[in-house]
């Protein structure tokens, strides 16, 4: 310890006599004095104090951290980073904490790619679970899920003794990827290991509530695959529907979840009890607006919602234009022709609108399935459709029974049509098909 330095400091700042005497008498612990010097705007002396501390304890990582954090407090980020970079060349008792502090500082002041490079150099230089976990969590935060997948495998291989922490981390990764079943599975492993794991129970309950079973027959599921130039605009259009639906059913338990699986996007709608057909019809009408077949005013009555939906459609145009400009720049090297912006916007709107549709014209499939159309069959089917639209299962059952007795051959064809549609569409089957399948015994 440089006693002369502290004597000069004491003569300069008599108001800090107590703090300086304590440091000299008890060895270095100068953080409190440093904070007072900074608070009183004696910035140069605050820096000199921690540098003096570093001279005496250069082999301890916390000394380097103290200097770097002092620079950071004073806004001298370049000196803080330089302090960390010089320090990581050595071996210190608290090296893990030093790496973590440097990485956190880098996250705030460097571009994502630079931070990833820094983290990679750390995990290669020093095998440390906290540092590697910090890297993994950074990748999740930045949605670098492919890189996170790679690091997850490394974590499992290197730190298999950290089972609880790994289960939590993997659960977060799976949730980000939209693999909610796997996310729940990781949490269940924690609960199997310790039934009193409150955090695991809390996270599992949140997942169960937010992401119910995708295969529930009560859910409405739409899957759309977008090419890269349409991805951002397409997701935004689906999110807009979710917002409208939640506003339409305020106070009712309605959920809209959008899951990305590569370029494919899945929208899962959990309607209020008994409202599946109503919600599906609303989704169909929204799809018609997106396609341009009807106006927003024909779907909505709230002027604010109408303006917001029109703005969303204009923003879709802008998002595609920006992505298109980027692709033109990249692909100009290959002299690749990109289709007109107007054509791309029309394609997106038609694709999304068609994919969302309940599509009334799909009723046509029943009539097309008939072996030989006749007035009696058409009349029975039209009555059946009215019963479906009124959600009247008793009338539907009676009409189907009447249909089977009077038109057995056509009834058999309709039954086969419903069976085939249910088998091929699964959870994507229109609500009216679900309705008939519940009142008509069908072998699938």
For 400, phi then psi, to 5°, come to -65, -40
319 within some domain? yes
| pLDDT score for 168 | 92
DSSP state of 361: G
Q: Give CA angle at 121 (120, 124), nearest 5°.
A: 85
282 to 175, 248, 258, 426: CA distances (angstroms): 29, 10, 17, 20
151 and 97 in a common domain: yes
Strand order in the sheet with 264-270: 220-225, 264-270, 255-261
125 and 47 in a common domain: yes
192 and 59 in a common domain: yes
444 within some domain? no
Q: Do 324 and 343 contact (CB within 8 A), yes or no?
A: no
User: CA 333 from chain center: how many Å?
Assistant: 34
348 and 414 in a common domain: no
Kindly report the pTM of this predicted structure: 0.42
Choose the final residue of a domain: 356, 382, 411: 356
Q: Do 250 and 236 contact (CB within 8 A), yes or no?
A: no
Neighbours of 208 (CB within 10 A): 13
Those residues with Cβ within 8 angstroms of residue 320's Cβ, 6 or more apart along the chain or in another chain: 229, 230, 233, 341, 344, 345, 348
| pLDDT score for 342 | 59
420 and 280 in a common domain: no
User: CA 76 from chain center: how many Å?
Assistant: 35
305 and 247 in a common domain: yes
Q: How far apart are CA 112 and CA 208, in angstroms?
A: 32
pLDDT < 70: residue spans in the chain:
1, 24-28, 90-95, 209-218, 262, 321-373, 389-391, 420-432, 434, 441-444
327 and 182 in a common domain: no
Q: How far apart are CA 212 and CA 227, in angstroms?
A: 28
266 and 197 in a common domain: no
7 within some domain? yes
User: CA 286 from chain center: how many Å?
Assistant: 24
> Which CATH number does the domain housing residue 171 bear?
1.25.40.10
405 and 301 in a common domain: no
Neighbours of 11 (CB within 10 A): 9
325 and 226 in a common domain: yes
Q: How far apart are CA 247 and CA 231, in angstroms?
A: 25
**For 290, how many CA atoms within 13 A lie in the half-sphere containing its CB?**
30
428 within some domain? yes
What would the pLDDT profile of 340-350 be if each residue is shown by its tens digit?
555 655 655 66
383 and 321 in a common domain: no
252 and 167 in a common domain: no
The number of folded domains in the chain is 3
| pLDDT score for 442 | 45
362 to 92, 224, 365, 431: CA distances (angstroms): 71, 19, 6, 11
Q: Write out the residue range of the structural domain in which residue 290 sits.
A: 220-356
């Amino acid at each position: 310890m440089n006693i002369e330095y502290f004597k000069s400091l004491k003569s300069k700042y008599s108001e800090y006599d107590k703090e300086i005497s304590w440091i000299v008498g008890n060895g270095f612990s100068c953080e409190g004095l440093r904070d007072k010097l900074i608070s009183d705007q004696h910035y140069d002396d605050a820096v000199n104090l921690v540098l003096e501390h570093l001279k005496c304890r250069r082999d301890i990582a916390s000394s380097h951290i103290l200097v770097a954090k002092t620079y950071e407090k004073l806004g001298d980020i370049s000196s803080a980073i330089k302090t960390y970079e010089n320090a990581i060349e050595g071996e210190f008792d608290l090296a893990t904490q030093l790496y973590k502090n440097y990485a956190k500082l880098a996250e705030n002041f460097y571009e994502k790619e630079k931070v990833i490079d820094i983290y990679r150099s750390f995990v290669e230089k020093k095998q440390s679970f906290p540092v590697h976990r910090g890297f993994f969590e950074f990748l999740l935060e930045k949605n670098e899920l492919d890189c996170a997948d790679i690091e997850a495998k490394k974590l499992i291989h290197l730190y298999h003794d950290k089972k609880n922490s790994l289960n939590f981390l993997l659960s977060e990764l799976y949730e980000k990827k939209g693999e909610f079943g796997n996310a729940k599975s990781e949490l269940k492993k924690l609960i199997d290991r310790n039934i009193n794991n409150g955090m695991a129970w809390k996270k599992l309950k949140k997942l169960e509530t937010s992401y119910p079973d995708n295969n529930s027959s009560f859910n409405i599921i739409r899957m759309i695959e977008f090419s890269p130039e349409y991805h951002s605009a397409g997701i935004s259009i689906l999110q807009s529907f979710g917002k409208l639906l939640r506003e339409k059913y305020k106070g009712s338990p309605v959920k809209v979840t959008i899951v990305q699986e590569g370029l494919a996007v899945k929208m899962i709608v959990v309607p209020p009890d008994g409202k599946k057909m109503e919600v599906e019809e609303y989704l169909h009408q929204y799809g018609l607006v997106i396609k341009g077949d009807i106006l927003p005013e024909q779907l909505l009555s709230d002027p604010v919602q109408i303006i917001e939906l029109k703005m969303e459609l204009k923003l879709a145009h802008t998002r595609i234009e920006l992505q298109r400009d980027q692709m033109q720049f990249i692909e100009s090297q290959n002299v690749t022709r990109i289709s007109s912006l107007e054509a791309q916007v029309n394609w997106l709107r038609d694709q999304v609108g068609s994919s969302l549709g309940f599509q009334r014209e799909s009723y046509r499939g029943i009539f097309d399935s008939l072996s030989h159309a006749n007035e009696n069959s058409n009349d029975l089917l039209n009555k059946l459709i009215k019963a479906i639209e009124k959600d009247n299962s008793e009338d539907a059952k009676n009409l189907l029974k009447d249909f089977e007795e009077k038109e057995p051959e056509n009834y058999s064809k309709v039954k086969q049509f419903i069976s085939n549609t249910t088998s091929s569409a699964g959870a994507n089957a229109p609500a009216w098909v679900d309705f008939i399948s519940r009142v008509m015994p069908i072998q699938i």
